[in-house]
Amino acid sequence: MTIDTRKLHSQQLRSMNFQGDALRMGMNWTEEDLAKPQILIDSAYGMGHPGTFHFRPLIEEISNGVFEAGGKPGVFYTSDICDGVAQATSGMSYSLVSRDVMAAMVEIHALGHPHDGMVLLSGNDKSVPAHLSAIARCGIPAIHVPGGTQLNAPDYFTSNKLWPFGMEVDRGRKTHEELFERQKNACPTCGACQFMGSASTGQVISEAIGLALPGSALIPAPLSMLLRYARAAGKRVLELIRLGITPDKILTRKAFENAIAVHAAVGGSTNALLHLPAMAHEIGVDLTIDDFDRIHRRVPVIANVKTTGKYPVEYFYYAGGVPKVMLEIRDLLHLDCLTVTGKTVGENLAEIEHSYFFDERLGYLRNYKIAPTEIIRTRAEPFGTEGGIAILRGNLAPDGAMIKAFSVPKEMHVHTGPARVFDGEQACLEALRRTAIKAGDVMVIRYEGPRANGMPEMYFAAAVLAADPVLGRSTALITDGRFSGAMQGPSIGHVSPEAIDGGPIALIEEGDLIEINIPTRSLAIVGIHGERAAETEVTRVLTERRARWIPRPAGHDRGILGLYSRVATEAARGGELTPRTPGSAPPKRATEPAIATTAAPPRQNVAPRRRDAGDGPTGSRTNNGPSRGTNGSRGRVVIADYDFEDVDIERAIIEGAGFELVPEQCKTENDVISAARDAVAVITQYARVGARAISAFTRCQVIARYGTGVDIVDVEAATKRGIQVTNAPNDWCADEVADHAITLWLAAARKITQYASATKRGEWRWQTGQPIHRLRGRVFGLLSFGAIARGIADRARAFGVEIWVHDPFVEEDDIRRAGARPVSFDELVRGSDYLVIQAPLTSETRGLFDEEVLRKMKREAILVNTARGPIVVDTALYRALKEGWIAGAGLDDIEEEPAKRFDWQADNPLFRLDNVIITPHAAYYSEESIRAVREIASNEVIRVLTGQRPLSPVNFIEAQAAMH
């Protein structure tokens, strides 16, 4: 079947624009050329670094392929800067934002002119993620061509080693002549650098996610094989047009999970935590840093590649490259994902496995007499049992921070040390030069995040640290900046929120004790000025410091960095310059009319109202009275998100008091800022209202939370801004949650779901759910003993069980007086036949029930969680249930609340098991409790806005003057 050119955008435009043909014939286009499918060939070609300098022959081959397949190529360029050239200078601040600028230029080229498809050629740190994001954003048939890698340098030397080498010259331990000898041979050919840094990782991801041809990533640049792949890509894009295969058919959530899995297996660059979420957001997939942590926990590292491994990337390609890695972990991949071949991942791998693909490449490797399994291991003998990335959280990084755990010495996986605080990398480098950093220190480099300084890499400091035989195994580095993809050692980056937004990293003082705990995924301030302190004391001190803290101006107030400092998202959201609003339409193509010709339908009252991120003033909150709503109301009250069918209850209360109600469905903090910048009040269910959103609010008086928990609201930031925070009192749903906990326990213990499923299959056997035990006399454990937990205990006693309780915040005598037995956490885990979690979510309880804890439970135990989902690690629970560590579970939530995602799919492996019951939050089940919590939140808003004190305050703010 041929392409119907009448349906092509390029041909439709010719009937609307009569100048375009003439202009292109001015470039010697023929009449036949004008009638062909128009293919954009956009590349990062330039003279900034060796990764793009060799692109001209590749561009010609792509063009040849397009011509051969019946298309007309149009060649455009947007070159990139080099992180290695800009490193450790002010130019490094331009690196991350250049990704989004490049993506925008490709968007302009692709959609500003009438292109039907595109082939993008790139191979380096920011150009590859820029091109992949542009493919996701533009939506036209597209294929990516990875630019290849350098050949290996003498002595396996790689250019990243020049940083510590140069420091040795500064200290007089090496000569300038020795340095120059290394410099002139470190990059012997064109191509990406010879280690699994950001450039190589980007090429791997392009292939793994399905946008590049199988086997095309990381080809050594001098090989003619790279030219053949370039021509094949030019031909293939015409097939994508003919078949109607657009990026949205390829870039599914499963495809992104495949990319993360391969990223884990190769020990890829930490910068992927910025690039993949940004790319996913372009296509409407809500990918987060927690997805990396979840997937990296179950995927082993099997690639022995520099910098964490031994061999250069050239040898990795000869050992089988990305296809070999994907075959080794195929059981961890979604094999049904579509790719640019028009076939699925599974079909591509099967085809490669039964071809000469590996024979051809292994022949190169035999020249070096290296066994392929030395470079790409089997699953049975991995280099690391888990992938390289771990996401840490705690009072130092509430929104997360990352570490390349695979490269960290084991002795540094748990470390506590005094903070050495530097406001910028240069001060830290000077301390390193003076050998002022001592073993055990924790260096903190701050005000280097996206908004403060463009989020440059702290690579110089990290490289010097890692190269030091003492400091590299005893000293840590923490920053709100980022690191090179070649980083290794105990370096923690992407701390969010960043310092300039008032993140806790801004409050650290010299000598404070910082604890890093990779196994528990925690990063916390645990002491003040060298002395250990209780969590409550640390919180008190940080609150005092926050009251004294004065926000610093951004490092840039003009040009592209000035714009970036105003609008960039935090590192945990990709550090994006142009974040997409969920539910928004993709960019318009050149053939779409610029002005609508028919009237828009009337806006429904409950439809979410979207505003541009730049709407409204910025800066500190004012108290000049409420903003007037669009209907002349007393101000706008924004519902950030909700999962009810309508907002009629809220509307009756809020509009009845003279305010305008604006319902939204925000999924990110950027959405909240966009929707509620000038609102007088915000009501939220799951949407996070963090410090950055609160600092952007210009008129907000009150933030009301549906329900009791307020972990999604930064109460400290709200208090500092004089914003009241309210929630629902504990008793609004206490009985209902207690009822639900007992229901889950009984259903799981009596294995009701297994019996029901068997019966519906036509089986009638008493023994279907065996073994089942009597409830009477068995141990019923409770983690926490608050009001809801006491209600659960009261109900459970009717079944004759013995109640055990662990709650360090309740006196043991109080537990005994309630008829329960106080026990330690270890006793509770090991001794309970039924264990119900009703504890609050804190940095200590997040991820508490991991594999280590679950393995301690009885094999016949039942676990019930009616608290917060993240207390139990989904992957660990899946293994526990699948492999029989425990007998069953009942969950009132999963690790990541699905209502927080606009692209949620039921692909959690727990859903495939029949010995676990999973329900949404019980508190929102009944009509009575739903109505109660909605009325409570709405009435609290009106109380605050009319000068009254709230009935259920979370913080203490002087009542606002009544509005008139």
For residue 481, pLDDT beyond 80: yes
- pLDDT, average across residues 307-319: 92
The residue type of 818 is A
- pLDDT, average across residues 323-345: 97
For residue 472, pLDDT beyond 80: yes
Per-residue pLDDT, 586: 58
Is-contact 546 716, C-beta < 8 A? yes
Q: Which residues contact 729 (CB under 8 A, 6 or more apart)?
A: 708, 936, 951, 952
Per-residue pLDDT, 959: 47
Q: In whole angstroms, how far apart are CA 102 and each of 80, 131, 270, 448, 803?
A: 8, 8, 20, 22, 62
Residue 477 class from Cβ within 10 Å (0-12 exposed, 13-18 middle, 19+ buried)?
buried
Q: How far apart are CA 210 and CA 341, in angstroms?
A: 8
Q: How far apart are CA 179 and CA 169, in angstroms?
A: 8
Q: How far apart are CA 107 and CA 690, in angstroms?
A: 31
Q: How far apart are CA 539 and CA 716, in angstroms?
A: 10
Among residues 432, 424, 435, 305, the alpha carbon closest in space to that of 370 is found at 305
Name the catalytic one among 43, 98, 269, 484.
484
Is-contact 437 471, C-beta < 8 A? yes
Residues 38-67: pLDDT tens digits?
999 999 999 999 999 999 999 999 999 999
DSSP string, 895-960: SS-GGG-TT--S--GGGG-SSEEE-S-GGGSSHHHHHHHHHHHHHHHHHHHTTPPPSSBSS--PPP
Q: Which residues contact 765 (CB under 8 A, 6 or more apart)?
A: 758
The residue type of 299 is V
Site of tokens 């997409």: 580
Q: How does DSSP classify residue 611?
A: -
Per-residue pLDDT, 585: 55
Q: Which pLDDT band holds residue 191 (cuts at 50, 70, 90)? A: very high
Report the range of poorest mean pLDDT among 109-113, 154-158, 215-219, 680-684.
Answer: 154-158
Per-residue pLDDT, 485: 63
User: Rounded to 5 degrees, what are φ and ψ at 835?
Assistant: -125, 120
The residue type of 735 is D
Q: How far apart are CA 722 and CA 700, in angstroms?
A: 9
Is-contact 203 305, C-beta < 8 A? no
Report the range of poorest mean pLDDT among 140-154, 901-915, 944-958.
Answer: 901-915
Q: How far apart are CA 848 and CA 871, in angstroms?
A: 5
Is-contact 347 323, C-beta < 8 A? no
Q: What's CA 898's distance to the chain center, in Å?
A: 15
Q: How does DSSP classify residue 151?
A: P
A 10 A CB-CB count for 163 gives 21
0.75 exceeded by the pTM?
no
Residues 621-643: pLDDT tens digits?
333 333 444 445 679 999 998 87
The residue type of 333 is L
A 10 A CB-CB count for 842 gives 14
Q: How far apart are CA 1 and CA 243, in angstroms?
A: 9
Residues 703-730: pLDDT tens digits?
999 877 777 899 999 999 999 999 887 6
Token pair for 239: 């097939």
Per-residue pLDDT, 414: 96
- pLDDT, average across residues 948-959: 82
| Burial call 883-916: b when 16+ CB within 10 Å, e when fewer | eebbbbbbbbbbbbbbbbbbeeeeebebeebebb
End-to-end, the C-alpha distance of the chain in Å comes to 70
Among residues 226, 160, 232, 155, the alpha carbon closest in space to that of 193 is found at 160
- pLDDT, average across residues 255-277: 96
Alpha-carbon torsion angle 343, 348, 350, 356, nearest 10: 130
Q: In whole angstroms, how far apart are CA 156 and each of 195, 203, 318, 849?
A: 10, 21, 16, 44
List the Cα angle 465/515/829 in 5-degree steps. Answer: 135
Per-residue pLDDT, 589: 57
User: Rounded to 5 degrees, what are φ and ψ at 670?
Assistant: -60, -40
Q: Three-state DSSP class for 312?
A: coil
Report the range of poorest mean pLDDT among 460-469, 542-551, 792-801, 862-871.
Answer: 460-469
Q: What's CA 565's distance to the chain center, in Å?
A: 20
Alpha-carbon torsion angle 637, 642, 646, 651, nearest 10: -20
Residues 491-537: pLDDT tens digits?
999 999 999 989 999 999 999 999 999 999 999 999 999 999 999 99
Q: How far apart are CA 842 and CA 253, in angstroms?
A: 29
Q: Helices 459-467 and 162-170 sit at what angle, rounded to 10 degrees?
A: 80
Q: How far apart are CA 370 and CA 465, in angstroms?
A: 31
Per-residue pLDDT, 581: 59
- Average pLDDT of the chain is 88
Is-contact 587 104, C-beta < 8 A? no
Q: Is 484 a catalytic residue?
A: yes
Token pair for 409: 């010495």
Q: How far apart are CA 174 and CA 917, in angstroms?
A: 64
